[in-house]
A = this chain, B = another copy of it.
Amino acid sequence: MDSLDLLRSLAIIIISAKFMGLIARKLHAPQVAGEIIAGLLIGPSVLNLVQDTDFIKGMAEIGVILLMFGAGLETSLGDLKKTGVKATLVATNGVLVPLVLGTLLYMGFYGFAPFGTNEFDNAIMIGCIMTATSVSITVQALRELGKLNGFVGTTIVSAAIIDDVIGILVLTMVLGLKDPSENLGSVALKTALFFVFAIGVGFVIYKVFEKMDQRWPHTRRIPIIGLAICFSMSYIAEKYFGVADITGAYIAGVILCSTDDHEYIARKMDINSYMLFGPIFFASIGLQTDVRDMNLNILWFSLAFVAVALIGKVIGCGVTAKCLGFTGEDSLKVGVGMMTRGEVALIVAQKGLSDGMLASKYFTSVILLIIISSIVTPILLKLLYEKHGEADYTDMKHPVRPARG
């Protein structure tokens, strides 16, 4: 890629992503959706101003790693421990039900596929994309309703944290299947070995950072070494354990989240992400999505995909909440609150694409899911709270509200 082209592409991507992102926010849609649409507009679908070159692909790849590292940096082990059984059960079923329903949806459209075939991999990847809740929009909506600290609110936020971890575990296993020589057992073994490795290395890293935090608090070397750890863990995970690089990045974030300087690291990473790599990643999703590939079949599939993804969370989380003693209305609130999807769904889809387990035409479905869920959830939550206030759960053990909410 010519260096002039590079400057031109970067300028166009940054300015269009920011502009469309701001418009999206004005329309109460997620900013990410605006950035993707910017990519669609400047890409081959419409204006054809920017090509998805190897360089842009590489930058987007770094963007994905940084986003997952950032997500890990928000996952405090302390908060995880405090979550309690209820939120854990809500989260687990909130992952498993969409995973199964999504897999079945794909098979319903394209025919049954037995385990071990390529088609099965594609089907389960569709399920996998549906698993990751992105709770920030729900948190915003609950905050505006003044219900963030209620029992329903804390359950949702706690469940969303666990949801991330279970989602990553499921994704790691599913991506492990891409290698035809692997079976579920060997993938599970490698994944387990990686986590053992991560615990060991993580402990050492934690100790070293504790020393560094004391000797040189808030110095540049801390986020820089953090970044190097993120890249190293991503590399090691994929190279030596067959575990997805994004899992490695996420785990690197979780490890560093326990250190004293984790907020300082997160802030610096965040700047790197939102200034350049994040917009490039989201725009690159748009660049890869050629709307001219759209046909009636994909359109129907996308609508069914969105419906199943939303209903899957409502069933998975809502029914579990009901079984755990929530009232019917409050169970529905929990289910609806967990419906929102965001960046992670895209990251999973991108990973599926680059590992040959997903075609790029399904990006449209994922984009639709993010936009629709982000618009519908706050509206539904408001209606639900207006119709029925939250029941009284003073008898039940309140989960401790994590710092993240």
* C-alpha gap A279/B15 in the complex (Å): 26
Does A224 contact B18, Cβ atoms closer than 8 Å? yes
Interface size on A, residues (CB 8 A): 40
Given known pairs A268-B271, A272-B271, the reply for A54 and B1 (CB within 8 Å) is yes
* Cβ-based interface call for A197 (8 A): no
Chain B residues positioned under 8 Å from A62 (CB to CB): 6, 10
* Cβ-based interface call for A235 (8 A): yes
Chain B residues positioned under 8 Å from A22 (CB to CB): 221
Interface set, chain A 350-377, CB cutoff 8 A to B: 354
Chain B residues positioned under 8 Å from A58 (CB to CB): 1, 3, 6, 55, 58
Give per-residue flags for A131-175: 1 if the beta carbon is below 8 A from chain B beta carbons, else 0. 000000000000000000000000000000000000000000000
Chain B residues positioned under 8 Å from A227 (CB to CB): 14, 275-276
* Cβ-based interface call for A238 (8 A): yes
Give per-residue flags for A203-247: 1 if the beta carbon is below 8 A from chain B beta carbons, else 0. 000000000000000001101110110011011001100000100
* Cβ-based interface call for A274 (8 A): yes
* Cβ-based interface call for A396 (8 A): no
* C-alpha gap A221/B3 in the complex (Å): 25
Does A4 contact B61, Cβ atoms closer than 8 Å? no
Given known pairs A14-B227, A54-B54, A228-B15, the reply for A4 and B275 (CB within 8 Å) is no
Does B221 contact A18, Cβ atoms closer than 8 Å? yes
Does B6 contact A61, Cβ atoms closer than 8 Å? yes
Does A14 contact B224, Cβ atoms closer than 8 Å? yes
* Cβ-based interface call for A403 (8 A): no
Does B8 contact A235, Cβ atoms closer than 8 Å? yes
Chain B residues positioned under 8 Å from A239 (CB to CB): 4, 8
Interface set, chain A 1-35, CB cutoff 8 A to B: 1, 3-4, 6-8, 10-11, 14-15, 18, 22
Does B55 contact A225, Cβ atoms closer than 8 Å? no
Does A354 contact B54, Cβ atoms closer than 8 Å? no
Does A7 contact B272, Cβ atoms closer than 8 Å? no
CB-based closest 10 A-B pairs: A11-B231, A7-B235, A15-B228, A14-B228, A11-B232, A10-B231, A55-B58, A8-B235, A271-B271, A7-B231
**Interchain Cβ contacts under 8 Å between A and B, 5 examples:** A7-B231, A8-B231, A11-B231, A18-B225, A55-B55
